[in-house]
A and B are shown apart, each in its own frame.
Chain A
Amino acid sequence: MVERSVRGEATGGAGTPEDGQAVEERLFRRMLLIRRFEDRVYRLFLEGEIPGTLHQYQGQEAVAAGVCDVLRRDDWITSTHRPHGHALAKGVSARAAMAELYGKATGCCGGKGGSMHLGDPAVGMVPAIAIVGGGNTVVTGLGLAMKLRRSDQVAACFFGEGATNEGAFHEGLNFAGVERLPIVLVCENNLYGASTSYARVSRVPDVADRAGAYGIPARIVDGMDVLAVREATIEAVASARAGNGPTLLECKTYRFTGHSRSDARGYRTREEEAEWASRDPLVVLGATLPAPLLDALEEEVRAELDDAVEFARNSPLPDPSEAFKDVYA
């Protein structure tokens, strides 16, 4: 039931009228925005401008960008403790995301969510769920609501390979399959749950094989290739919209940074890191685009992030009384 998919091998669905360089440019720009956002955030954090902690997304951009490119604004996603890329890809503005990290009133959650809970219902993103596996049951409810209302929306659930050892993954997957919910389960297999390698905690090397146990189709996707991710998602989303139930996409990817800001990455080799760095999703796609375009996109993104940082810096802090609001509707 598990298909191996690389770019160009998607069997159906791909091929909208806008295919070609416009799609690639859009995807590259979105990945670049995420990459530069994360790079910028890292420095601002070290400089003491951003409070709290960070779980960064550099290296995995192709997954968020490729999946969300296929989703409509009224489709929904759930995310994880590493949500910056998902939020930017689903349509949270760089301003609103940055201001949220700054703990400002203008943040997408008014400063109450922070780095680990970025999200905005207006763009179809549940505040990111920072409990590993937490989204895997909540997404079934999103799908159930869509099914009960006979809408053609879909819900995508981002989770790491580490979540597949949580009970929630299994309960959610089985229930989604039994109810044929319009869901796409997007596993970002970045090989490590914090410091623990997946090989050490699973006898099953591929997460995709676990879907078969629940009668759910799965595909292994090159998670460093945004076009491959997009093509696989087109097929999974079409299947979900057609009422055929969930699909699991296992995107093989790699987090270029540590798990969180204080991680010196002593559990993996520099050689392994170099090998994955050579497959940087921006390099993979960038190699196919003209250099002047890349320069122009770089400049656009720089301006967008300059603006986002200025916006965040200049935004008001939440009034302390806000701490006591929004507990109840």
Chain B
Amino acid sequence: MPETTDEARRLTISEALREGIAEEMRRDDDVFLIGEDIGVEGGFGGAFGVYLGLVEEFGHARIIDTPISEKAIAGAAVGAAVLGMRPIADMQYSDFLFECMDELVNQAAKLRYMSGGKLSVPMVMRAPVGATLRGAQHGQCPESYFVHVPGLKVVAPSDAYHAKGILKSAVRDDNPVLIFEHKLLYGSKGREAAGGLDLTAEVPIEDYTFPIGRAVVKRPGRDVTIVATHVSLYRALAAAEELAGRGIECEVIDPLTLLPLDTDTIFESVRRTGRLVIVHEDTLTGGWGAEVAARVADDCLGYLEAPIKRVATADVPAPAAPVLEQAALPQVANVVAAVDSVLA
């Protein structure tokens, strides 16, 4: 984490991402934005306002509003990246990524390999995830689909400092990087849905990056390791706080990058605690938590003192009604129960 300085400011994830994008666009003329409703005057600055103000500085030549054509957006990003541009493509909702699976999975991820390493595809795709009372087709967490694809990198930042730092790393990376951000974490200060936390974070004014492939220990502890992202990370932190009141010390890890996974940090923690709980908002079966569990089982079985537990959204599409959505999603109480069960 950065040192606190007089210049330290607290930013929301939205503000930090916007600043990071602007800095990269000033640094490198090859960086451009492409997506729907991102630069239209009088428009939204992207579905969640991340790009507000950017078109005034960079103009429409570098902030390219497209038709509602996700395949064209992703394909254009792939092709431009092949020629050495550094596109930042935007999906309004991560659910729409399924519209351009061919461009991402067959083209972006594989062109370098197919060419025998003669070209690269340095593109970024940003996509918001998470259930927010919008129902089944605007509330998924599809990170795990992409974690399965060799050739892609998948990151999932959950606070402003790391969101900006990892976005800048993604832009500078020579590979296709998917950045999954949670809708509830963009700009909320003390949103109830995210556990009542202040989600702004200190972001230095100086240029910095945070590396892809490195996890962060958000809270140290000796009894149980919890790995979680996005809103689930804050649920896990809330659970850890509650459990601390009973003398149970949870170590909470934000993996930040899901592909390639920082197994070193996770293994080191599990070898100390002997217990692992994984929490994510993606549905349970085939979710990235299963991969974490398998890796830990492979490498750390002798250290485990209890079965690995996963806390995830039930294997159902996201329902719309608030009471149904809350029933399907992992809650703080589910995390507490999982920790209790591995300590029992």
Query: Are B117 and A172 closer than 8 Å at their CB atoms?
Result: no
Distance of A169 Cα from B343 Cα, bound (Å) = 56
- The answer to whether A144 has its CB under 8 Å from any CB of chain B is yes
Residue interface bits A277-308, CB-to-B below 8 A is 1, else 0: 00000000000000000000000000000000
The answer, yes or no, to whether B116 is at the interface (CB within 8 Å) is: yes
Is the C-beta of A110 less than 8 angstroms from some C-beta in chain B?
yes
Query: Which A residues are in CB contact (< 8 Å) with B85?
Result: 141, 144-145, 148-149
A325:B111 contact, CB within 8 angstroms: no
Residue total for A at the interface (Cβ-Cβ under 8 A): 46
> What are the residues of chain B within 8 A of A145 when measuring CB–CB?
79-80, 82-85
- Report how far A56 CA is from B72 CA in the complex, Å: 29
Can you offer 28 A-B residue contacts whose CB atoms are under 8 A? A78-B79, A108-B116, A109-B114, A109-B116, A113-B115, A120-B118, A126-B79, A126-B119, A127-B111, A127-B114, A127-B115, A131-B106, A134-B106, A134-B107, A137-B76, A138-B75, A139-B75, A141-B75, A141-B79, A141-B82, A141-B85, A144-B85, A172-B72, A174-B69, A174-B72, A175-B72, A325-B117, A329-B112
Q: Is the Cβ of A326 less than 8 Å from the Cβ of B80?
A: no
Q: Closest residue to A108 on the B side, CB-wise?
A: B116
- Shortest beta-carbon distance, B123 to chain A, in Å? 9
* Residue-wise interface mask of B (161-190) relative to A, using a CB-CB cutoff of 8 A (1 in contact, 0 not): 000000000000011000000000000000
Tell me whether A134 and B102 are in contact (CB under 8 A): yes
- Which residue from A107, A139, A174 sits with its C-beta under 8 Å from B67? A174
Binary contact track A252-284/B, C-beta < 8 Å → 1, others 0: 000000000000000000000000000000000
Residues of A within 8 A of B114 (CB): 109, 112-113, 117, 119, 127
**Interface residues of B, count at CB 8 A:** 44
Q: Is the CB of A171 within 8 A of B102?
A: no
4 pairs of A and B residues whose beta carbons are closest in the complex: A141-B79, A137-B75, A110-B116, A326-B117
Task: Tell me if B116 and A326 are in contact (CB < 8 A).
Answer: yes
Q: Residues 87-114 of chain B: 1 if any A CB is under 8 Å from the residue's CB, otherwise 0?
A: 1000000000000001100110001111
| Contact A122:B75 (CB < 8 A) given known A76-B83, A171-B69 | no
A113 touches B107 (CB 8 A): no
